[in-house]
Amino acid sequence: MTQAAQIIREAAGDEPVRLGLVLGSGLGALAEEVEDAAVFAFSELPGFPASGVSGHAGALSVGRLRGVRAALLSGRAHYYERGDPAAMRTPIETLRALGAEAVLLTNSAGSTRADMPPGSLMIIRDHINFSGLNPLIGEEGDARFVNMVDAYDPELRARLHEAGAGLFEGVYAWFSGPSFETPAEIEAIRVLGADAVGMSTVPETILARRFGLRVAAVSVITNFAAGMTGQALSHDETKTEAARAQTRFRALVRHFVESFA
Ligand code: HPA
């Protein structure tokens, strides 16, 4: 049990949550739909990161979403903020301590595929840890040797497909950021098998598997990756395009959450 989980249980009650959600850049508005919410700023919870990226609120809401007891993290910490690949360790461990059996990780990402334009939603089937970093480096004991076959739970992926129409499925590659990728890096990672690129999620997936949580993950495609259109990339574009995809994204997440009822 983390100290944070104790604080949350004291305020929000002992009823276990079924599901944890991590809402990425520009996707945090879903937290408004939580009923009977107990809301905690990350700064109130020991071990939670201070997130300083615009588009990331840094709050945890515990309550009912579509009738399912859930804990939503609006905002996350990224490796590039402080150079700590384990920045999300306490939040992920806390979701488990609150009773979650699964976590839905969401992010904004760039597409390496010409047939997957901005506005697309991509279910993550697998990842490539292109950063070479790992949140479990330094941990002792055998629990650190986490199996990563089917890290993105096949049964949860099937449920995501049922929850939304016209969804892509593909491989997400983690780049450390915060600079965007070069066109050469995108060309390289496409050859290596990546369909989408981004600066988050992979360390959380590793941590979630470490703590025994099943993982489902969705990327909101906000742009074609570097070099694909001749246009420059920007965080403003990420936020604007994520906001435009909100309606479909929210509908997908709602239906997925309902499958836990
Ligand atoms: N690269 C990395 N991270 C991103 C991108 C991208 O093109 N789009 C949104 N997040």
Tokens of 13: 């009650």
Q: Decide if pLDDT at 237 tops 90.
A: no
18 in the Ramachandran plot: left (φ > 0), alpha (ψ -120 to 50) or beta? Answer: alpha
CA nearest ligand 1 atom 6, residue: 110
- The alpha carbon of 97 and the centre of ligand 1 are apart by a number of angstroms equal to 31
- Residues in the chain, total: 261
Q: Decide if pLDDT at 240 tops 90.
A: no
Angle at 167 between CA 103 and CA 211, to 5 degrees: 15
Q: Is 111 in the pocket of ligand 1 (CB under 6 A)?
A: no
Question: What is residue 10's three-state secondary structure?
Answer: helix
Q: For residue 223, give the ligand 1 atom closest to its CA.
A: 8
Listed in sequence order, the DSSP H helices in the chain are: 3-12, 79-82, 89-97, 154-163, 183-191, 202-210, 235-244, 246-258
Q: Is 181 in the pocket of ligand 1 (CB under 6 A)?
A: yes
24: confidence class by pLDDT, cuts 50, 70, 90: confident
Angle at 125 between CA 23 and CA 49, to 5 degrees: 30
User: Domain 3-258 belongs to what topology?
Assistant: Rossmann fold (3.40.50)
CA separation for the pair 57, 134 (Å, rounded): 25
* Residue range 210-231: mean pLDDT, rounded: 96
Short-list 80, 85, 77, 82, CA closest to 136: 85
The answer to whether 198 and 153 have CB atoms below 8 angstroms apart is: no
CA nearest ligand 1 atom 2, residue: 198
Q: Is 223 in the pocket of ligand 1 (CB under 6 A)?
A: yes
- Segment 63-117, tens digit of pLDDT: 999 999 999 999 899 999 999 999 999 999 999 999 999 999 999 999 999 999 9
CA nearest ligand 1 atom 7, residue: 110
160: confidence class by pLDDT, cuts 50, 70, 90: very high
The answer to whether 169 and 123 have CB atoms below 8 angstroms apart is: yes
Q: Which of 113, 131, 223, 231 to mutate to test the pocket of ligand 1 (most atoms within 8 A of CB)?
A: 223
55: confidence class by pLDDT, cuts 50, 70, 90: low
Q: Is 220 in the pocket of ligand 1 (CB under 6 A)?
A: no
CA separation for the pair 239, 244 (Å, rounded): 9
The answer to whether 253 and 104 have CB atoms below 8 angstroms apart is: yes
Q: Decide if pLDDT at 26 tops 80.
A: no
Ranges 24-28, 44-48, 145-149, 179-183: which has the least confidence: 24-28
Supply the pTM of this predicted model: 0.96
